[in-house]
Structure 1
Amino acid sequence: MAQLVYFSWVRETVGKSEETVEIPKEVATVSALIRYLATQSDNYARAFEKRDAIRVAVNQVHVKPEHSVTNADEIAFFPPVTGG
C-alpha cells in the first residue's frame, strides 16, 4: 500500500493530511496517480484541478510527472515552495 501525504492547500482541500491507498496496477506514473485521485471525490477533483501547480515527491525526492509510482512508495503532494 502506498502512503500518500498532503501538504498546505492540497491537505485542506482533500480534507486529510495523509492516507494509505492501494494504487491500481494501471496507474504507473505520478501524472496517472493524480488523474486517478481526481476521480475519487469532489474534494480530490478540486485539489488536483490545477495539476501544474502541484509538486510531488516520491520517497522524499522531488520528481517529474512521468516518474513511476508503486504501492511501496511514499508520495507527497504540495504546492510550489517560495522563499523570502
Structure 2
Amino acid sequence: MSNEFNAGDTVYVIYRNPHAANVAHIKEAEVVHHPYHEGELSLFLYETYHPLAEDDAVFASYEEAEHLYNQLFDIDQYR
C-alpha cells in the first residue's frame, strides 16, 4: 500500500478517534518524508507524523474513502 503514494500526495484516511473507539471520520492528510526515519514515508495528520502502515485505510480520493466508510458503518441503513 505505501508504495502507491509519494511524498507530496494529498490523501484521505479513515481515522478513528483514539479517545472514543466508536467515532471515526474521513480526514485529509499529506504524504511526507518522515522527519526522523530516513527513507520512510508518513502521513501528516493533526500536526503529527504517522508512519504509513499496510493496514492503514488511505485513499487517493474522498469518494473512495467515503464509499468504504459507508460500508463499514452501514450508513445506508439510517437513510
Which structure has the highest strand share of the two? 2
Which structure has the highest helix share of the two? 1
Name the structure, 1 or 2, with higher relative contact order (CA <8 Å, separation 6+): 1
Normalising to structure 2: TM-score of the pair?
0.28
Normalising to structure 1: TM-score of the pair?
0.27
Structure of higher CA gyration radius: 2
